[in-house]
Structure 1
Amino acid sequence: MLGSGVKRVASERRLLEAKRLLLFTVRTVEDIAYEIGFDDPAYFSRFFRERVGEAPAAWRRKQLQGADRT
C-alpha cells in the first residue's frame, strides 16, 4: 500500500514538472521526457495523455494560446 502512494506522488510530481517545462521553456517534448526521467519519449506522451487528456504538444499549444488572449 505505501509503495503505491509513493508512486502516485512521484507521478504527480513528474506531471507537474512536465507542465512547467512545457509552459516556460521552448524545449521539445522529447527533451522534456528525458529531463523528467523517462527513457522513452513515446511512453512519456502516453503517460501525459492518460493523465491530462491530450498529448503534451497539444496541451502546450492550448495553454499558450489561452495565455495570449489574456
Structure 2
Amino acid sequence: MLNVSSKSIIIEQLLIRSRHALKFSNKTIKEISYELGFSTPDYFSYFFKTQTGTKPSLLRRSVGS
C-alpha cells in the first residue's frame, strides 16, 4: 500500500492538468476552471494559489515571457 489518500491523488491530478492547460493552451482561466470541474473561476484561483503559492495568471504570464 502506498499510504496516499485519494484526495491527494485528485489534487495532484488537478494541479498537473491545470499547469498543462495554463502553459500550453490559449483557453481563458475561466474556461480552464470550468473544464476541470470547479464551480467558479475564483474558487479555481483560490485552490491553485493555496496548493502552489502562485496565482494561475502569474504562471501563465511567466510562461509567455
TM-score exceeds 0.5: yes
Where does residue 56 of structure 1 map in the other structure?
56
Larger Rg: 1
Deviations 1:20-49 (A, max 9, x none): 001111100010000111111101000001
Deviation at 1:60, TM superposition (A): 1.1
Paired residue total = 62
Could you tell me the percent identity over the aligned residues?
34
Deviation at 1:12, TM superposition (A): 0.7
Structure 1: gaps (5+ residues): 66-70
Moved over 3 A (4+): none
Work out the CA distance in 2 between the residues paired with 1:26 and 1:55: 17
Structure 2: gaps (5+ residues): none
Work out the CA distance in 2 between the residues paired with 1:64 and 1:7: 31
More helix by share: 1
Where does residue 25 of structure 2 map in the other structure?
25
Deviation at 1:63, TM superposition (A): 2.4
Work out the CA distance in 2 between the residues paired with 1:11 and 1:48: 10
